[in-house]
Amino acid sequence: KFLLPEPATTHPSPIRARTQLAPMSTDFKTKICCIGAGYVGGPTMATIALKCPDVKVHVVDINPKQIARWNSDTLPIYEPGLDAVVKKVRNKNLFFSTKIDEAIQECEIIFVSVNTPTKTYGVGAGRAADLKNWELAARNIAKVANGPKIIVEKSTLPVRTAHSMRKVLMANDRKIHFEVLSNPEFLAEGTAMEDLDMPDRVLIGGMTTKLGQEAVQKLVDVYAHWVPMERIITTNLWSSELSKLVANAFLAQRISSINSISELCEATGADVQEVSHAIGKDQRIGKRFLNASVGFGGSCFQKDILNLVYLCESFGLKEVSEYWNQVVKINDHQKHRFATKMIKSMFNTISGKKIALMGFAFKKDTGDTRETASVYVAKHLLAERAKVSIYDPKVEKEQIEFDFNYYKALTPGREFKECVTVETDPYKAAEGAHAIAIMTEWDEFKKYDFKKMYESMAKPAFIFDGRLILDHAKLQDIGFTVYAIGKPYGVKYQNMDDLNA
């Protein structure tokens, strides 16, 4: 796990060896600020501060509670390794505050890492990115800047956003010059600190003008403190912006592809894990992102694909748009059919039955719940008047309740406390339940005493494994009725011998 800088001998690169052993400087060569103290801004700036002792880093946000938590012993986000890094550099060359204007004026490089959700209103609603926060940040930078600045897009944005933002910035009445760069993040939550420590690539896009290339070099010099030069890719602005959307679209496409095959496996008697293992051995395909599940979540995949869909529609590329939209449709279908399978398995009625959802984060090793499959599955269960009990080791009750309201998962006329309980003990969550559903692949779930859970549950007791992490044979021996994504349980022909029946 990535925690603190390793000895120079571990990384033979001359750049790495020199900078990782450098003492913390009080005379900073470069000053950087990041507007937005969220999942991207916080970890990214903490890593830059750690790797670049000659760089002063400000992380600013309009939310005082968010900043207070960054300055406390309880950070606002959970990410393995993050806490140790922040404690190492905080108040040395990494500073968190709400003083946005002062940070803009002090720093020459300004990262903008604000939220760009999918629009819920107007033209492009449900597909296009809502750039309101980004434009507000750009206008404020133009208003308070006291000299030339390099503005870095860190949020995921549509292609040619940089062009629009540059117009906003350059419209200032003081003739201050701005260069806009695109530097998309390629982090995976749960391994973000490792991804930042040893990135596959760092992508920087800029204008092809002399000033544009000078700005690109300035940002290259920051990353070169620890990233080998062959991993730093420079492109034009448009290629950089589009690469981020396409990367997430391709990853999500693989998940939807294997999830579509999981349904075929259930119908035919094939085993999706055996299929994914077999095709993953093909070096042209590879094994990554071939784990069938209840569906992908997170802040990026669905948002970025929908953004790509809208972009294609805007340019009249109907067939391309429909192709990528199908990735989202399959993901929605997977969540819906998982919930439907639960209902049908429990005799087509779950009214008044307690169902325990194990996991609410969209994936393990993070507290992020954005677009989590859990809330969508719960919505279907609540519509059938089930009682839902939730346990997650990292997600707080307040966040879960917020998500049920935000994603409109509650049945109209019913309040959260009437139909949902949040437990801090997984055994309490399962007590009296008719079924357990594994919604997040937390490692601790594999270690539970399921015999103890079984004894406390209503009978017949069901387990629905939406992440394929449990020992299904052992669970069946205990007495559970087991359903798992892509597994042929209940199929007439489970193996060749059955063909003689």
Active site amino acids: 300
User: DSSP labels for 350-368?
Assistant: -TT-EEEEE--SSSTT---
Alpha carbon distance 409, 67 (integer Å): 30
Q: String of b and e for 421-439 (b: at least 16 CB within 10 Å)? A: bbbeebeebbbebbbbbbb
Q: What are phi and psi of 81, to 5 degrees?
A: 90, -20
33 strand-pairing partners: 58, 110
Alpha carbon distance 29, 54 (integer Å): 5
460 prior amide bond cis, ω within 30: yes
Strands 94-97 and 55-60: parallel
Tokens of 292: 């069938």
Q: Taking the mean position of all CA atoms in its chain, how far away is CA 409? A: 20
Tokens of 114: 């604000």
144 strand-pairing partners: none
The answer to whether 80 touches 365, Cβ cutoff 8 Å, is: yes
The interaxial angle of helices 318-345 and 301-314, nearest 10 deg, is 150
166 CB-near residues (< 8 Å, 6+ apart): 178, 180
In which order are the strands placed within the sheet that holds 109-112? 94-97, 55-60, 30-35, 109-112, 149-153, 178-182, 202-206, 232-236
Tokens of 95: 């500073």
User: DSSP labels for 235-279?
Assistant: EEHHHHHHHHHHHHHHHHHHHHHHHHHHHHHHHHT--HHHHHHHH
Residue 486 DSSP class: T
Alpha carbon distance 181, 280 (integer Å): 37
Q: What is the dihedral of CA 293, 297, 301, 307, to 10 degrees?
A: 130
Angle CA(96)–CA(99)–CA(105) in degrees, nearest 5? 110
355 strand-pairing partners: 388, 435
Name residue, tokens 């020199």. Answer: 18
The three-state secondary structure class of 203 is strand
Amino acid occupying residue 317: L
